[in-house]
Amino acid sequence: MRLLILSVFVVSLVSSTLEPPSKDEKKKKKAKPTLKSVVERDLIKSEPHWTEITKNHKKYSRSHVAQKAFSHDLLGFVTPWNSHGYDVAKVFGAKFNYIVPGITLRM
């Protein structure tokens, strides 16, 4: 009996991951610029709650896009097969000193 229940669970789990994305999943939400920084929104914490992360993971401060918070050189990698990395590099390019295409090493 346990084996049957486990088998049904595994099959349902595998079939749910192999289904094509629904129409809602295809509509990706774009990043939303805000006027407040993460400090002003009180998001800098040693132990953030998961709800704060999921609510704010696509938001960024429009007024801090070009401001560097790190004084050393900063290198960014953009994967050629993922256009989202290119979009992020366009928005936050002023924060980086170097942006290079990421490479995959095959052995």
pLDDT in tens, 38-51: 888 888 888 888 99
The pLDDT confidence band at residue 19, using thresholds 50, 70 and 90, is low
Question: CA 16 from chain center: how many Å?
Answer: 23
Q: From the CB of residue 23, how many other CB atoms can be counted at a distance below 10 Å?
A: 6
Report if pTM > 0.85: no
Look up residue 73 and give its two tokens. 């050189």
DSSP string, 30-66: PPEEESS-TTTTT---SS--HHHHHHHTTEEEGGGSS
Q: How far is CA 61 from CA 14, 36, 48, in A?
A: 39, 6, 19
